């Protein structure tokens, strides 16, 4: 499959260390929801890292992934932390 110009551009930007921005559709595919849901979340939750200019909405990938990690339910965090402690004490 041939690479498209936007794909090459994103790769060049990522290689240069510049932030990578995702569209609402990209985020929706990542999370398994509709783009409208992502847009609604970005309006309702001020902590969600969204960049808005007029009708254009973009999400900086690294900031979004950090934000998503913080959204993990507390019970799941406790289980993960307990698993890490168990693994480190076994070593």
Asked if the structure places residue 45 within a domain, the reply is yes
In a domain, 9, yes or no: no
Q: Give the model confidence (pLDDT) of 9-48 as tens digits.
A: 777 766 777 778 999 999 999 999 999 999 999 999 999 9
Note down the domain range covering 48.
18-90
pTM: 0.62
C-alpha distances out from residue 28 to 18, 46, 78, 80, Å: 22, 18, 27, 25
Number of domains in the chain: 1
Element of type H or E holding 62: helix 61-70
6 in a domain, yes or no?
Answer: no
Residue-wise pLDDT for 41-55, tens only, equals 999 999 999 999 999
Q: Is residue 54 part of a domain?
A: yes
Q: Which pLDDT band, with edges at 50, 70 and 90, does 58 fall under?
A: very high
CA distance 10 to 88: 38
- Would the pLDDT of 80 be above 60? no
CATH number of the domain that 32 lies in? 1.10.10.10
| Within-domain flag for 10 | no
Residue 6 or 57, more confident: 57
């Amino acid at each position: 499959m041939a690479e498209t110009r936007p794909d090459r551009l994103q790769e060049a930007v990522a290689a240069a260390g510049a932030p990578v921005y995702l569209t609402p559709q990209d985020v929706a595919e990542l999370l398994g929801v509709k783009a409208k849901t992502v847009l609604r979340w970005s309006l309702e939750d001020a902590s969600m890292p969204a960049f808005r200019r007029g009708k254009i909405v973009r999400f900086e990938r690294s900031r979004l992934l950090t934000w998503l990690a913080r959204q993990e339910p507390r019970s799941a965090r406790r289980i993960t932390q307990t698993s890490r402690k168990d693994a480190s004490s076994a070593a």
